[in-house]
Structures are given as C-alpha cells and as structure tokens.
Amino acid sequence: MTFSRPGRYASPAFESPILRHRPMSTEPLIVLTTCGNPGQAERLATELVETRLAACVNALPHASSTYRWNDTVERAEEVVLLIKTTRERFAELEARIKLRSSYELPEVLAVRVADGSQEYLDWIRSSLEI
C-alpha cells in the first residue's frame, strides 16, 4: 500500500532525506513499554540510560490501561516509558526490559522515527556510543 498526499513523502514509512542517508543500525527508534509502578519505571529508566541502551527515557505516569488478559477484560494504572534508542541497541534493550519487568508478558513496541531534528537524532546516536 502506498500513501500519497501532495507535499508529503510517497511511501508507507514517509521516507525522508534523513532516513535515506542513515545506516540501518543507527536508525532511531522510540520503544514503548509499561511498568506497574513509578519505582519500577525509575529503576528501569536509569538502568537503560546508564548502560547506554537508551539515550533518554520519558516516564508518563498515571496511564490507564484497558486490555484483555486470560479472556478477562482488565484495567490497571501503569507508567508508560518512551525510550529513545537505535535499531542497533534494540535487541539488547528488549532483553533488558523482559529481564527487569514484573509482567508475565511485557509490552515492547518499537516505532521507527520517520524524521526529526538532525541535531537531536545525532545526539541519540552519540549518547549510545560505548
């Protein structure tokens, strides 16, 4: 499927000049996960930044989640984490989230960054260099 709008990029990923010239491994990602309480979220965010798996983690408290689990509709208050990383660091980041999560099935969703401030994207990459 191709999306076309006048004045916009004509591909599903809305490919920008920034994406065309970026090696796949340094492609920026925003990873979403949830934690059961603020303490868990703070510990995970700190660990991800300290180990250079994330350049930045935003914690959004008081997220009201509604979901189906074991054939029952459940509701919970959670902390959503927005994690800025790169494709190169994703596998290790995912493994760390799964290791530290208190959930049986942790949410780990990676979203490609279609475009952004070049300076900010460069900062994400440089923050993850070991």
- Hey, where are the domains in the chain? 58-130
pLDDT of residue 24: 67
pLDDT of residue 25: 87
Structure token pair of residue 125: 């990459």
Cβ-contact 26, 87 below 8 angstroms: yes
DSSP state at residue 56: E
Give the CATH class of 58-130.
alpha beta
pLDDT of residue 21: 52
How far does CA 17 lie from the centroid of its chain?
Answer: 22
How many CB atoms sit inside 10 A of residue 93's CB?
Answer: 23
pLDDT of residue 22: 52
pLDDT of residue 16: 46
Q: Select from 58, 56, 33, 47 the least CA-distant residue to 126.
A: 56
pLDDT of residue 130: 79
pLDDT of residue 23: 59
Structure token pair of residue 68: 């189906």
Q: Select from 93, 85, 96 the least CA-distant residue to 123.
A: 85
Regions in the chain scoring below 50 on pLDDT: 1-20
How far does CA 11 lie from the centroid of its chain?
Answer: 22
